[in-house]
Structure 1
Amino acid sequence: MMIRLETDRLIIRDHVKEDLQTLHGLISDKEIMFYIQDIMTETIEGSQMNLQVALEENEHPDRTKYFFAVIEKSSNEYVGEIGYTKLLENSEGNVMELGYFTNKRFWGKGYVTEAAKAVVDYAFAELDTLKIETGCNAQNKGSEAVMIKLGMKREAYLKRHVLIDDIYYDRVEYGLLKEEWKDLCR
């Protein structure tokens, strides 16, 4: 089942094979991917492998990865990526890890917050989610601001936890429980 969500300005949808070039443009950009180098690739073949994972998950009945393309409605331009991975599951519900990144042209426009709110709402309303968590390099204030705007609570500050270009950086971790999300929706 293909997932498609809409907000005032965005379409958030499962990937299709035609997304390869736009995805590659995003995940091969060193500035965009500075904080998440583990999925950065310089080759189209590497991007194809990343896209293939998303395409296979789209069809899987017991899906554990939800990777979405974010499209600007007014221009039909590819804004970036958002999604989550199921980390844990039991009868109480799932724990999902949220992630996102966008094309530089769309930084500072509120698109990540808008898309993140839609996918968080979807996860809690439709996917038996107990908790959504995420984190970022403590210097990535834009990403942390998104977490705060979503109503997430800071759960940890990990000193010298992330190694990027042979330099250690601090990391912040945020989380949102389903009952906290319900309170925010009132």
Structure 2
Amino acid sequence: MFLIFDNFNTLVPELASSSSFAPISNATQAAKLPLSSVQITVFPNCGICIGLTYHHVVADGRTFNNFIKAWASFSRLGDSSKVDVRSKPSYDRTTILDPYGFEAIFLKEWWKRISSQGLVLLGPSYYNGHSTNAVRATFLVDLAQMEGIKNWIIALCNKGNEHIRYIYRHMS
């Protein structure tokens, strides 16, 4: 099933853009910038959609994915002591020591850069006025079909397709 990507914009929550905030003039001055947003859309008699938006300064894709998995695990099990320790993320910022104050320096330089270049967080309102020329697809694949795909990739790898071998090694 192929769906026009632009039709999903209403399911993605907004974050205020960085251009609407004043730049930091010195290291002790703080600026407030929204870092994440959650939107829950209820489809009557059909289900829900949980839309999450976060600024990249909060986490990268893997970290955010691990956070969501840990959150789901806590919710499902109801007791954090039952959750596998390997799945618990650590967000303790005191783990990394900064005796020379690099954090303040980097944050100040980062803020100067995004403020001077007019970099903004592009949310759904931006894409509502700009076509993405993209589609979103959902494919239902059963176990037998998945095995067929796996065997096809293995056959390509055995034929000496180094780029396919590289991709397969990182996807399996």
Please confirm whether the aligned pair reaches a TM-score higher than 0.5, indicating the same fold: no
Larger Rg: 2
TM-score for both structures, normalised by structure 1: 0.24
Which structure's residues are more often strand, by fraction? 1
